[in-house]
Structure 1
Amino acid sequence: MTDKAYGALRASAAVWVGASVLITNQRGQVLLQRVSYRSTRLLPGGAVEGEPPAQGAVRELEEELGVRASVTRALAVDWVSPAGRTMPPIMNFPGELLHVFDGGVWDEDRIASIRCAPGEIEAVEFAEPADLPTLMAPDDARRALSALRARTNGTGAVLLEDGRPLVPTLLDRVNAFTRHRAAHHWPWQKGPAPAGMPVRQCWGWLFAPDGRVLTLLDPANGAACLPGGTPEPQDQGDPAATLTREAAEEAAVRISVPVLLGYLADEHHSSGPCVRVRMAARLTDVGPSRPDPATGQTYVRALATPEQVIELFDWGLPAADQLAAVHQARARLGIPRAGRQPLTELPDATDLTTL
């Protein structure tokens, strides 16, 4: 084949190239644009115009939001097939390679600096991840959620086909972020709960030897919770006894003697003001997974870094204070700090010495 013929063959198979940017606020909500030419919301971004995709993403951010930002980390590359997107036939859509870059977490000052491009971007809004399928076109929502899971996992860019990962991770398999995250915006307090204040909940940060902690995921929608639960009469008012019992019942694990981290002051509980205690302990034994006797739910037991756990919830700014207390307890327990890595399932009867 001649160079001319080869060039013509490749040109006949040309596809579009696009770039978009995933940006979240400090609550983990995703920045979406309301545009004048579509009824559904979009991530910031657009067509690549002859430049490298990362430079295209930077240019689109400045054109659409009036914000200069560097984007160096790719989250996903999606092959959008001609059948995977509904386009007017006159456009002869050939398919697209759409790159999703990590725009990072924006604070209130940076959000306030946004200046929407007149005539194109009508407004921006921050949406809970679970609301993306309602607000976005189906393929756009799948892509955004896949990119968000890739960010939480801390992997390199994942490969997608019409928004679906070629190699699903644990977060993909449990459909993480498709149910509204638990929102706990109560202030963080150090020390024991005030005398006479009822304790409605005791959750634990349970450390594996490698510094990751046990997180329980709903297998249907990825909704997360930490091991623990509601005090029962047999606990005799001891939060450590509550956590030890609940860890065995709902997670089938045994733990060391828990240490107190602090508590969240819940002023708006339906039964009146109360506190939610947080503790830390080591995992000492892992048994076969089984249904929680209180709910009948069999959770997926996952290991995640404390930072990843925070991203699975909507705890607001007080989460930073709780996270600091978690790492202080980790250091006291002599446990190393874990580097970010994909969430992994904790198998039945795990030998903890291998972690």
Structure 2
Amino acid sequence: MPRFSWHTCSVPVGLPVRQVYGFLFVPDGRVLLRVDGTKHTLPGGRPEPGEVEYCDILRRETMEEVTVDIDEPHYLGYQCVDDGIAPYAQVRMAAVISRVHPAAPDPDSGRTYRRLLVHPGKVGDLLSWGETGYLQATAAAEAAVTVFGLPSDGLPETGDL
């Protein structure tokens, strides 16, 4: 069973980054989640050959999966996944959505994902990532207020984008 740990520092040299995911905020402070059936997740995915900049990976993945443009992403930290074979990092970033395009199929899967806006306080529950998920969601909510200047109270609970 893999072990997960959350770190707010830079990814250590030599620890491969296998995924980059983003907590994407709309101006009212809610977070966009990608919905696939009954599963909620953050937009993001694997680096493609030659991609090294986390911001570029996140921008590409968010356009492919949830068809939104984002402003400059803010690095939150990484989750270390120790699967007992070779540990790796999953980078987490936060960004504000700057433009929403019509929903379209993901070029990798062919699926068109539902886009759900949720109150930041509900993200940890919906992701079902346990303690590290709550820590990540808390770091993202704090960045939304302190880095992006988004509101933190009086937000609607949920809604489709």
State TM-score, norm by structure 1: 0.43
Deviation at 1:255, TM superposition (A): 0.2
Deviation at 1:234, TM superposition (A): 4.1
- Pick closer, same or farther for the CA change 1:301–1:273 going to 2, 3 Å: same
RMSD: 1.8
Q: Which residue of 2 aligns with 1:278?
A: 92
Q: Which residue of 1 aligns with 2:82?
A: 267
Q: Which residue of 2 aligns with 1:224?
A: 40
C-alpha distance in 1 between matches for 2:3 and 2:87:
14
Q: Which residue of 2 aligns with 1:51?
A: none
Query: What letter corresponds to residue 211 of structure 1 in structure 2?
Result: G
Query: What letter corresponds to residue 197 of structure 1 in structure 2?
Result: L
Query: What letter corresponds to residue 260 of structure 1 in structure 2?
Result: Y
> SS of the residue aligned with 2:127?
coil
Contact 1:185 1:315 in 2 (8 A): no
Contact 1:185 1:316 in 2 (8 A): no
Give the number of the structure whose residues are more often helix, by fraction. 1
Aligned: 1:247 with 2:50: no
Contact 1:252 1:288 in 2 (8 A): yes
Contact 2:30 2:155 in 1 (8 A): no
The structure whose Rg is larger is 1
Deviation at 1:292, TM superposition (A): 0.5
> SS of the residue aligned with 1:233?
coil
Q: What is the number of residues matched between the two proteins?
A: 159
C-alpha distance in 2 between matches for 1:230 and 1:343:
28
- CA deviations on 1:268-313 (whole Å, 9 max, x unpaired) are 176x210000000110000010011011111001101122121112
- Please list every run of at least 4 consecutive aligned residues from structure 1 whose deviation after the TM superposition is greater than 3 angstroms: 338-342
Query: What letter corresponds to residue 242 of structure 1 in structure 2?
Result: I
Query: What letter corresponds to residue 4 of structure 2 in structure 1?
Result: W
Q: Which residue of 2 aligns with 1:198?
A: 16
Structure 1 residue aligned with 2:112, among 287, 298, 301? 298
Give the alignment of 1:72-91 within 5 angstroms: none
Q: Which residue of 1 aligns with 2:137?
A: 323
- CA deviations on 1:192-239 (whole Å, 9 max, x unpaired) are 211111101110011100000111101xx321111111011242x111
Structure 2 residue aligned with 1:309, among 119, 123, 126? 123
Contact 2:68 2:100 in 1 (8 A): yes
Percent of matched pairs sharing the same residue: 40
Query: What letter corresponds to residue 214 of structure 1 in structure 2?
Result: L
C-alpha distance in 2 between matches for 1:185 and 1:304:
27
C-alpha distance in 1 between matches for 2:154 and 2:34:
20
C-alpha distance in 1 between matches for 2:66 and 2:19:
16
Give the number of the structure whose residues are more often strand, by fraction. 2
Give the alignment of 1:175-214 within 5 angstroms: 186-214=4-32
C-alpha distance in 2 between matches for 1:213 and 1:232:
25
- CA deviations on 1:15-48 (whole Å, 9 max, x unpaired) are xxxxxxxxxxxxxxxxxxxxxxxxxxxxxxxxxx
* Structure 1: tracts of 5 or more residues without a match: 1-183, 347-355
C-alpha distance in 2 between matches for 1:206 and 1:224:
14
> SS of the residue aligned with 1:303?
strand
